[in-house]
Structure 1
């Protein structure tokens, strides 16, 4: 019998449940049931309460703010400040990049250290098709470059879908590599509205790598032990990662605890079970143990959209 040695070290928080994009793999309009979920925003008071309760029981080395689109939260700067005040050294945020000018500087001053930009296309037509929005991709690209110039630790996340952006892998790698920004290619996860259609759109990490190796010479690049990505580097110095949650699952090393915009916690992306955080120490420890028990040995997916549970 093997002993499960996993522990919670990274807290991913979906600070609100809505987004200004309607990406095909997350919230396509024809699949969204508006009556199923009401928009929720995590309040600063609830974040402060839950952080203090959790920090007393687990050593959190990183808090990652997600959504929905976290830059839509009216109290975003205050939330970042609260995390910083609780002595969390690594504070990250995942964004689609469609936010107002000046917010980058405000987030940096508040204590944010890293931004992961979701960027699935640099082609205007494909960008509009994937996001279902008439938004200039140039604006998003400019925000990514601005974040890099300001000194943020910047990464790009690209979810690859067959028939949508699978022919853009090389363009995206070249664009990010020329700007010294690591890019991570994600296998489309069996989550949310397209849960049942997953096989139609799935494009494997192996197929992505085959494209890259057809043009570039590639070798392994140092990868952190708890990373969800396996990193590589081309001879040109372009760094890219592969997040192959389906074909090369990494569940056995998962150290993530998730919190939704109502303050409830989840132990696993593949399990919709959530828990309210109680007040007493004994109850909190038991709740965390129950959340850990929901973690799967391999990724099985869920019909719950990731925007509700911190991605």
Structure 2
């Protein structure tokens, strides 16, 4: 296991498998990488990276994008990672194509799903995602709920004045299926930067509501020190990532971009280009490059420093809707 200079182990690898998406979410950070990149790792490349990472103690892999289900070989990607024998293998998706791929992905080793669901209101859903697809996604959620995944989480990015009133409704929806609800703080990254001042919610009122209507179960220590509540039998995980030193102090992950570069933090530029080592199948070179990247890891937010929201004053108009 690798430990960085701040005592944080590297346990997890987020793998961005493509740079395209069929949605246009108003807040998308696109995993901190560019869109429509000119090169892309193959399924075999990704499996090779996973095997080397596992040698270094990484045993938890998250597939993301873009929208990962737009890759026609996504089942092979899952199969290649599964071959290295990870403790956990999960995938984040907008849910639009789950009816096409979910069962086969499960059969090839995918254990958990994170499904983005930012509203249960069709009009709001379309405004947030740019796609009128709520009915289809809800049908797909109902379908995958019975397939036998180890866990399914609903990812909800909290947007002040837009979907904050839906949290009790979302908890009831998660309870219906036995899902976990993950409430995610908006980040000033990518498409989220221009809308940050308008929709940012620091989650304090939501946390007060959770304390009043539920109970704190504890803190998830294996990933970013995330508080976990229980409300009406539903686990609610809080991803409070902006200007939160406690969150950064518990970081155990790095990101592999779809064009083969390694990021130590979502907020930071890639530190190492792994592409040459991956394509040459240079196991020793790749391992050294990963070890070097880990040595550069450091918390983005630290005690005594604060984020400056005053500079974020950009406004945008999205379609004809105004909230």
| Smaller-chain TM-score bracket | 0.7 to 0.9
Q: CA deviation at 1:193?
A: 2.5
The question of 1:242 aligning with 2:238 is answered yes
The separation in 1 between residues aligned to 2:80 and 2:293, in whole angstroms, is: 27
Q: CA deviation at 1:196?
A: 4.8
Match of 2:267 among 264, 270, 276: 270
Segments of 5+ residues of structure 1 without an aligned counterpart are 29-33, 302-311
Asked whether the equivalents of residues 98 and 139 of structure 1 are also in contact (C-alpha less than 8 Å), the reply is yes
More deviation, 91-100/217-226: 217-226
Query: Are the structure 2 counterparts of residues 3 and 95 from structure 1 closer, same or farther at C-alpha, using a change threshold of 3 Å?
Result: closer
Deviations 1:27-85 (A, max 9, x none): 79xxxxx9x743654311321332233333x1121111000111111110111111111
Task: Show the 5 A alignment for 1:144-155.
Answer: 144-152=141-149, 153-155=151-153
Q: TM-score scaled by structure 1?
A: 0.84
* Aligned residue number for residue 20 of structure 1: 22
Q: What is the CA–CA distance in structure 1 between the aligned matches of 2:143 and 2:219, rounded to whole Å?
A: 26
3-state SS in 1 of match to 2:272: coil
> Equivalent residues in 2 for 1:58-69 (5 A)?
58-69=56-67
Deviation at 1:238, TM superposition (A): 2.3
Alignment CA distance shift 1:4-1:210 (3 Å)? closer
For 1:59 and 1:67, locate their aligned partners in 2 and report how far apart those are by CA, in whole Å. Answer: 23
Q: Match of 2:162?
A: 164
Task: Identify which range, 193-202 or 67-76, moves more after superposition.
Answer: 193-202
Q: Does 1:232 align with 2:229?
A: yes
Q: Which residue of 2 aligns with 1:285?
A: 288
Conserved? CA contact 2:5–2:295, under 8 Å:
no
RMSD of the TM alignment (CA)? Answer: 2.7
> Comparing 66-75 with 94-103, which one deviates more in the overlay?
94-103
Deviation at 1:3, TM superposition (A): 5.3
Q: What CA distance in whole angstroms lies between the structure 2 residues aligned with 1:40 and 1:10?
A: 24
- Using the TM superposition, name which of 144-153 and 82-91 deviates more: 144-153
The correspondence of residues 30-109 of structure 1 with structure 2, limited to 5 A, is: 37-38=36-37, 41-56=40-55, 58-99=56-97, 101-109=99-107
Figure out how many residues of one structure are paired with residues of the other and give that number: 290
